[in-house]
Chain A
Amino acid sequence: MERLDTKELEQIISLYLDGELEPDEAKKFEEYLTAYPSVARDVEILRAVKKTLRAKEKLPANNWFWLRLSNSVESKTSHTSLRQLLSRPALTLTIAGVFIVLVSSVIYLKDAPLFHQFFLEKKTQVQSSLMSGNILPLFSNLNNDDVLNFALFGTIPLDSAHHTALQVKNSEKNGSQIEIVRKESGSVKPTVRVSDFCTEVGILKPQQEIIDSILGSYKERLLASVLVSENKEIAIHEQLVNLNRAMVSTIAASLEPLQRTKFQRFLEKREAPYALVAVNAPKMKPEILLSAIPKITRSNKYVVISKDTIGIAEMRMNIDSLRQNVLRRASHPHPVATKHMIQELAELERQFSNTVVVAGSNSHRVRVFTDNNAFKIDLEAPSPIVDGFELVDMVKPRMNTPTFLRGRQQSVTVMGDSGFAFEFPADDEALRIFRRLPQGEFRFEIIDSSERSPKMKILLKSAQNKKAFEEKLLEMKKREQQLIDLDSLLRESEQSLNSGKPLPKKEERKVLDL
């Protein structure tokens, strides 16, 4: 068989490898390869190359591609189209005329940036969505009782029977979470009314107006915190998870120290997730309080959930326009929205295989969990309290009660993470003991000044102390030793310090049963 010309051979090898030779040509070439083993080796090398390239590893999918692209497309096309229009003189006059007409409906245009980013769709569609009221706040029908319940428990009911609720949770251990919780019978959380709160905390009439104003202001925040659309998108303000903490802080700041003590008990009694930590701080003036409530700003970050995307998007917000949308629409979006959220998130979970997904910067992570009835979103929140909150943070997350103490809650009260607390009858002897506790490690205060049953409370100041104390209690439990003899310990250390002599034999013990 005659040897082929180099260039011709190169071409035939290439066609052969691509399967482009006719069957008889391929057969003939295979005979040629048998006759020329060096060419056959070249073919094998190229076959290996082709096979390796075909199996080239693919990049991991980018789930945020569309979210980023849509923003770029939107901003680019809006600039371009305006430029194009203005470059045509005939149209400029028309635009000027139309502009005058549009001024009268400027309210709609105000919302355009929000919807551009929210729907990530073309401008005209976005504006038509706005006109037909397609975007609605999920929480548009809240009353002050609902707002107070959200402040205290982080829960907002999604149905009138309170079987389904949106719940936010925020703890140092588990981070921030937004959940839809369901209960087949009964309500999802204890509910309180503002009137109960006022009675139990001893709120006076003028104060009640301030409380109403506080709740009203936060109602605005909640209105803009969860948005839903008929196009199945949901946007949740990333700081919704911290909002109830800010609310409890604001309410607490409006109270007198004694009322705060009662508020503390009110929270404890209902196992609210937060506890007060600055009970003795001075009462704040109402005007300062109300101005310090974090407002929805022009630019806000939302967790946006759509059928195929979950991410964090910057959106502009106009409360007035949202409210107008609510007025334009008669029916309430709750049932539809909840159903959609669960369906959409179930789909998202399937797509993302329950993996952590990151949007924009590394400082925001969102994780979604779902089952048939509920879903949970874990957020890596950027700050422990709402941005723009200008008051002292007066609350801390309540600590879980250690298991072995649960039966003893009459005498032991567990508070926030810096307020692991024990309550004692505040008799003279106990007061004497606790006033002598080393400063800096423990703090105590009388929490009820009534003469009948004064109580006092010991607070451990840091998480480390709390942990050490828990360990000590666990250790004691193991040894079946249920008593702590604080008094004798203190006396011993005092005597030792005063005399420099060896410690005398214990004569008297004040035993505190924990």
Chain B
Amino acid sequence: MRKTAVINLRDAHIPHEQKSDDSLIMLFQSGEKSVFRYLVHRYQEKVRNLIFSIFNEADVVDDLAQEVFIKAYEGLQNFRFQSSFYTWLYRIAVNRSRDEMRRRKVKKFFTFQSVESTTNLKIENLMTTTFDDEQLRETIEQSLNRLPEKYRLPIILKDIDGMSYDEIAEVLGCEVGTVKSRLSRGRTMLKEMLKPILA
């Protein structure tokens, strides 16, 4: 989808905080690099929470989010307005998270850790107890974390971030049809995991 960035001349009188993403990016590309801070302020919490949803670890969030924005800063000069800044930024965040997940997989392989088995254990224990909302939330999140990445990411982007299919396709770099099928497959897998507890 090609999009044309149009900067309204009246924008010049609008404070930077209120300028559109595209206007700020145009200013950035014309040399006014300081406007990057407004983009950061606008999206830093969204990116942090996306990373938190992917890893469920607060400790890694800020370091990864910083890297995401550094990459964005480095790449913004070449931003071509073919997607929204938001989905472009999310794509960087998702790609950086994938790298991190791969790194962890390699690390796990060499240290012979089995995260899978401990997660299973937790869920099995919970099956014997009565659930309150907090436990339910934890169980759902644990189950989501057990899904393969290709099914987990569309669910996070759709159900947690509320993105549209088109946006998810842009972020993940795939077709809308693929998004739909991965969402339905992922949800089915989730349902199978949770059925013994929630049914």
Residues of A participating in the B interface, judged by any CB pair closer than 8 Å: 10-11, 13-15, 17-18, 20, 41-42, 45-46, 48-50, 52-56, 58-59, 61-62, 65-66, 68-70, 72-73, 76-77, 80, 120-122, 124-125, 308
Is B62 in contact with chain A by the CB < 8 A criterion? yes
Residue of A nearest to B183 (CB): A14
Please indicate which of the listed interface residues A53, A66, A68, A72 has the most CB atoms of chain B within 10 Å of its own CB. A53
Contact call B187/A56, Cβ cutoff below 8 A: no
Contact call A10/B185, Cβ cutoff below 8 A: yes
Chain B: number of interface residues, binned into ranges? 35 or more
Residues of A within 8 A of B41 (CB): 66, 308
A419 to chain B, nearest CB (A): 47
A15 to B198, CA, bound (A): 21
Contact call B158/A18, Cβ cutoff below 8 A: yes
Contact call B187/A58, Cβ cutoff below 8 A: no
Is B34 in contact with chain A by the CB < 8 A criterion? yes
Contact of A58 among B40, B49, B162 (CB under 8 A): B49
Contact call B70/A59, Cβ cutoff below 8 A: no
Is B91 in contact with chain A by the CB < 8 A criterion? no
B26-49 to A contact mask, C-beta < 8 Å, 1/0: 000001111011001100110011
Contact call A11/B181, Cβ cutoff below 8 A: yes
Interface of B is mostly: helix
Contact call B140/A52, Cβ cutoff below 8 A: yes
Contact call B141/A56, Cβ cutoff below 8 A: yes
> Lowest 5 A-B CB distances belong to which pairs?
A122-B33, A14-B184, A53-B159, A121-B34, A10-B184
Contact call A72/B70, Cβ cutoff below 8 A: yes
Please indicate which of the listed interface residues A10, A48, A120 has the most CB atoms of chain B within 10 Å of its own CB. A10
B145-188 to A contact mask, C-beta < 8 Å, 1/0: 00000000001101110100100000000000000110111011
- Given A20-B165, A52-B136, A73-B36, 18 new contacts (CB under 8 A): A10-B184, A10-B185, A11-B180, A11-B181, A15-B180, A41-B199, A49-B140, A49-B190, A53-B156, A55-B137, A56-B141, A65-B40, A66-B40, A66-B41, A66-B44, A69-B70, A72-B66, A122-B34
Contact call B66/A69, Cβ cutoff below 8 A: yes
Contact call A48/B198, Cβ cutoff below 8 A: yes
- A53 with B160, Cβ < 8 A, contacts A14-B184, A69-B70 known: yes
A233 to B174, CA, bound (A): 45
A233 to chain B, nearest CB (A): 12
Contact of A52 among B44, B61, B62, B137 (CB under 8 A): B137
Residues of A within 8 A of B61 (CB): 59
Residue of A nearest to B194 (CB): A45
Contact call A50/B65, Cβ cutoff below 8 A: no
A87 to B58, CA, bound (A): 40
Is B132 in contact with chain A by the CB < 8 A criterion? no
A422 to chain B, nearest CB (A): 56
Residues of A within 8 A of B160 (CB): 53-54, 56
B59 to chain A, nearest CB (A): 11
Residues of B within 8 A of A76 (CB): 70, 74
What are 21 of the A-B contact pairs (CB < 8 Å)? A10-B187, A13-B187, A14-B183, A15-B180, A18-B165, A45-B194, A49-B140, A49-B191, A49-B194, A53-B141, A53-B156, A54-B162, A56-B53, A58-B45, A59-B45, A59-B58, A62-B45, A65-B65, A72-B70, A77-B73, A121-B34
B117-140 to A contact mask, C-beta < 8 Å, 1/0: 000000000000000000011001
Is B93 in contact with chain A by the CB < 8 A criterion? no
